Structure 1
Amino acid sequence: MRWRIDDVSDTQLQHTVQDRILSVEDFIGKHVVVDVEGPFVYLGRLHAIHDKTLVLKSVDVHDLRDSTTTREVYVRQARVHGIQANRKTTYIRLEKVVSISPLEEVIE
């Protein structure tokens, strides 16, 4: 059976949307990609979220100025081949974060 938006009450729709919204806390323990302002990309396991920082463990801190690859290509390669950690722990200032995504959701 198909349904139309008119068939759903506002309350039902609100609960459905809320059930599907993920928060950054849902990513704790997962491998994530953190894009920040500037030429860096961080790949690692999200360990904690504090008031002003994200904490990643087993982290690949990649400076895009050090390679000829693009951010997207680098992240896709990490998705396929795994994260090559070069730091045990990294703290990232939340004010610099542009986006955070689970690595498993990167499209290959």
Structure 2
Amino acid sequence: MEFLLVLLIGLLYASGTYMMFRRSMVKLLLGLILIGNGANLLIFLVGDINKGNPPVIPRDFSSLQGVYSDPIPQALILTAIVISFGLQAFAIVLLKRVYLVTGTDDLDQLNSDDQDI
């Protein structure tokens, strides 16, 4: 299971990096999304995949006994998903506005000085 996740993370990082090297702003955003998903999977993988009980200490024990799930990686991934969704929504609206004003999404054409935005 871990080996498949490592391959998937590598594929997401490689394809995200490739997409970010393209000249289109839409492909840049898609590459950023792929790298963000790869980072979430990496945090999930580093947090150790195991099936266990929820991390709740019973009243008669003073510490956790046996195998339990670690809630920290899950909380970090959930927070990263919410933040990346907000960033993606803002970037999509910004890309739409730039395309409406300039008529292109090519980054080389947007770098020219003759257009006032």
TM-score range relative to shorter protein: under 0.3
More helix by share: 2
More strand by share: 1
Greater RCO, 1 or 2 (C-alpha within 8 Å, sep 6+)? 1
Task: Report the TM-score when normalising by structure 1.
Answer: 0.27
Structure with higher Rg: it is 2
